[in-house]
Amino acid sequence: MTLLSLDHLTVQIGNLAILRDVSLKLARGEILGLVGESGSGKSMSALAVMGLLPDRARISGDIILGGVNLRHRSERQMCQLRGNDISMIFQEPMSALNPMMSIGDQVAETLMLHRKMPRSEARAIAREKLDRVGLRAPRFPLSLYPHELSGGQRQRVAIAMAIALHPKLLIADEPTTALDVTTQAEVLDLLRDLAREEGMALILITHDLAVVAGMADRVAVMQAGQIVETASTEPLFRTPRALYTQALLAASTHQPPPARRASAKPLLQVENATRTYPLPRPSAFAPHPELRAVDDVSFTIHAGESLGLVGESGCGKSTLTRAILGLDALQGGAIHLDGHPISPAIPSAQRANMQIVFQDPYGSFNPRQRVERLICEPFHLTGRPTDWRDRVAEALREVGLSPDDKTRFIHEFSGGQRQRIAIARALIIRPKLIVLDEAVSALDVQVRAQVLDLLSHLQATHDLAYLFISHDLSVVRAVTSRCLVMQAGKIVEEGPTEALFTAPQNPYTQSLIAATPRIPQHWKEPA
Amino acid sequence: MTVRERQRTLPVMRRYLFRRLIILLASLWVASGVIFLLVEGVPGDPASFMLGVNAAPDTLAALRAQMGLDQPFVWRYLHWLGGMLSGDFGTSFTYKTPVAGLIAARLAVSLPLAGIALFLSVALAVPMGLLAAARRGKVSDGAVMAGTQLGIAVPNFWFAMLLVLLLAVRWHWFPAGGFPGWSDPLMALRALTLPAIALALPQAAILTRVLRSALIETLGQDYIRTARAKGLSRARALTRHALRNALIPVLTILGLQFSFLLAGAIIIENVFYLPGLGRLIFQAITQRDLIVVESVVMVLVFAVIMVNFLTDLAYAAVDPRLRRRT
């Protein structure tokens, strides 16, 4: 029985068509995966159902929920519907909750609003709902505030809020994208269980095909505001009909050409590196306890090698990276690059041997400088050579952009292009080591595949070593030859990537790999 | 809050308060030193000022001895500090009365005036800020923005004169100036109404703009979208979720405004002929009544620091994240 149907839904903002002729059906209790790259219209479709499109949006077509056309509903009626019949949770658990309101009150608010129940009664039900999503009573009192919870826990609060009134439809917009793999697996399990138990239909919006493979009954693929293919999950993965679906699938399992064998020459040597932070005193005169953010870590990167470093947020990856880059001093142990010790006091010429590419292609550039100036920035370490303009042009060509792009500003580029510019900036002083800190995590699968190919090509031509830091195990698996697993400041497992992924020894590594969503192997061969 | 939860937050709160209190006392002490140094270091001998240029040297010396001006600098500072701690601010050279009583009498005017003005400015700014933010880009928003622009641009004494002309001279609703004392509270309040309005208008205009922009920023946050997805109407999301989150910058401005209202009302006090702190310090400076200047400035510094302390407490009351930070 159909719960929701979108019928030739078209949305325009200004002259820009956001959604074009989108038609979709969803049965009661069904889980629909809505996949596509950023800007394909997934979130806009969801907001259209919620009636929360931006004010300027012009909409045509029908949205029918349980036999009622939502297009003809007034804003007041939509308010009664939202949180009651349809609920929605969002991508950013860190900012999706009101920081000034306790979690109990935030869950209770939905109940008080729609059921007009007194606060005490609403809080009692809020307690039940929080228990249901795994935030159980004595540890998680209603009086907690969002900042006292982790990302995964906050997402659970958002889910508790959304399911408080047994909605018929829950829309989850990238609910686990910002979470670690093990947390992601838990939250996805919770959503699946809730949908099954409460007979609630679920629209799961994601860019990650592997996530829908394990969750959805049916999948709709969106591209540029249109639905290009809808099918039951397994057939869609086995025999994708639309070209775009095929391209997406290929990109998500893309494997760049393998690196040449690394030389035996050690480039970066980390020996017993330890980095501690003082924690606040427990009482006025007690000594500061220490947090060992990086705890006795040792490893080596050889010239021309790709080393992966995986671990969940808070495991010490970033702290270790800062020490390797010579930004922070170590409290114990030593780091050598090419035989020279690394510390915050190293001479600029040695800093020039390593560069970094960050995750956020939007925040890591000065928006008021032209590309030319952005790219030649590392020259302040070595002094600008006389042929610097040629070097900029060459760097741009190497990353697949045009030398003419040098006079443009960063906002004129897409996310993937910006990441290429970041790579050009790292390349220009010809470093021996590039640290890639979640460098492809923010990119869509197709762009990601291209950037990974580019990195592999550059490695071969420049004999670069990469330290590839990521929480995304599938990417690390695809591009590195050796891999470290970090947990609570320590390296818990190290080995050749393929061996480590197929036969992990450490229980933590095993849990990480088990939690990683994947497309079942046998779906990859047509039935 | 259950008992257990209260136990969890209390020590943290107490430590927060304790630290703020230490900072408060240290600032007061440093301020007293700076004030004394500056005021006593200013050229111009109060004794010779009082006696005039033709004073005999021995009369002058006698007066200097009587005023304690022949004592060493540090001793005078400690004497002044010790006196203040026991409530003795010294005796005014010109008024020949204890400074403490002088200040108390003036505070009885300035403090209520500042309080009423602050209250009025908040009472005006909150609804206007909410309206402008809720209807951003619409006509009402434009009207509020134009009005507040005017409120900021026009000096408060001009408002004061306008109010006097209309409400006092033409319609006789309020007195045009003077202060009858607190023996009849109603009359006292009536005397303070016009100056309070004149003081409040520009402050309200600033506060409205701060609140509006803070609200607009908050309305773009993800949790507002969450609130709307829960079924809250625009208006409810604004008042229930956005307002509290927008309060921090408003509190900052409020703290600054209170200090200004207390000390910066000199012109308004002159327009309405009110015996307030502003006029006291103005007269004391022109007459080299150093002890009064020092004491009034000290009282003002104390008030500003207290207001900052209260603002800090208000931050913590509003924002749960700050309660845990220290």
Q: Which residues of A touch B324 (CB under 8 A)?
A: 147-148
Is A109 at the interface with chain B, CB within 8 A? Answer: yes
Residues B39 and B170 in one domain: no
Strands A340-341 and A354-357: unpaired
Residues A285 and A210 in one domain: no
A319-331 mean pLDDT: 90
Residues in chain B: 326
Distance in Å, alpha carbon of B206 to nearest chain A alpha carbon = 25
Please give the C-alpha separations between residue A413 and each of A36, A416, A440, in angstroms, as whole numbers.
20, 8, 16
Residues A189 and A63 in one domain: yes
Is A50 at the interface with chain B, CB within 8 A? Answer: yes
| Residue B233 in domain | yes
Of B223, B318, B319, the CB nearest to A96: B223
Distance in Å, alpha carbon of B265 to nearest chain A alpha carbon = 36
Residues B281 and B259 in one domain: yes
Q: Which residues of A touch B222 (CB under 8 A)?
A: 90, 92, 95-96
Residues B106 and B252 in one domain: yes
State the number of CA atoms in the 13 A half-sphere of B39 facing the CB: 26
Q: Dihedral sign for Cα A14, A15, A20, A21, please.
A: positive
- A101-124 as b/e: b if 16+ CB within 10 A: bbbbbbbbbbbbbbeeeeeeebbe
Type of residue found at A293 = A
List the domain range (segments joined by +) for residue B129: 99-323
* Lowest-confidence region among A21-35, A190-204, A278-292: A278-292
Q: Which residues of A touch B14 (CB under 8 A)?
A: none
CB contact under 8 A, B222 and A52: no
For A195, the token pair is: 């949908």
Residues A139 and A279 in one domain: no
Residues A245 and A315 in one domain: no
CB contact under 8 A, B223 and A76: no
pLDDT at B2: 46
Residues 6+ apart with CB under 8 A from A119: A108, A112
Residues B75 and B123 in one domain: no
Q: Which residues of A touch B242 (CB under 8 A)?
A: none
For A202, the token pair is: 């679920």
Structural domain total, chain A: 2
d(CA B38, CA B277): 20
CATH number at residue A216: 3.40.50.300
Q: Provide the percentage of residues in chain B whose pLDDT is more than 70.
A: 92
d(CA A437, CA A440): 8
Residues B187 and B319 in one domain: yes
* Lowest-confidence region among A40-54, A342-356, B164-178: B164-178
User: Taking a C-beta distance cutoff of 8 angstroms, is the pair B212, B238 a contact?
Assistant: no
A362-378 mean pLDDT: 87
Of A76, A145, A161, the CB nearest to B230: A161
Averaged over successive runs of 10 residues, the pLDDT of chain B (326 residues) comes to: 49 74 88 84 70 75 76 82 82 82 88 91 94 90 92 86 82 79 83 88 93 92 92 90 89 84 78 86 83 85 86 84 62
Distance in Å, alpha carbon of B247 to nearest chain A alpha carbon = 11
d(CA B306, CA B283): 25
Residues A234 and A163 in one domain: yes
Of A76, A88, A145, the CB nearest to B229: A88
| Residue A134 in domain | yes
Residues A280 and A139 in one domain: no
Q: Dihedral sign for Cα A363, A367, A373, A379, please.
A: negative
Angle at A245 (CA atoms; ends A244, A246), nearest 5 degrees? 90
Residues B314 and B186 in one domain: yes
CB contact under 8 A, A75 and B233: yes
Residue showing tokens 């039940």: A128
Distance in Å, alpha carbon of A147 to nearest chain B alpha carbon = 7
User: Taking a C-beta distance cutoff of 8 angstroms, is the pair A162, A87 a contact?
Assistant: yes
Residues A331 and A480 in one domain: yes
| Residue A106 in domain | yes
CB contact under 8 A, A113 and B232: yes
Chain segment A67-110, per-residue pLDDT in tens: 889 888 888 999 999 999 999 998 888 889 999 999 999 999 99
| Residue B253 in domain | yes
Helix (H) or strand (E) segment spanning residue A42: helix A42-50
Helix (H) or strand (E) segment spanning residue A459: helix A445-462
Q: Dihedral sign for Cα B232, B233, B237, B240, please.
A: negative
pLDDT at B1: 43
Chain segment B43-57, per-residue pLDDT in tens: 667 677 777 767 777
Helix (H) or strand (E) segment spanning residue A466: strand A465-470
Structural domain total, chain B: 2
List the domain range (segments joined by +) for residue A169: 2-252
* Lowest-confidence region among A28-32, A41-45, A310-314, B16-20: B16-20
Q: Of the candidates A231, A252, A273, which is a domain's last residue?
A: A252
Please give the C-alpha separations between residue A124 and each of A39, A118, A140, A160, A291, in angstroms, as whole numbers.
40, 10, 14, 13, 38
Strands A31-35 and A57-65: unpaired
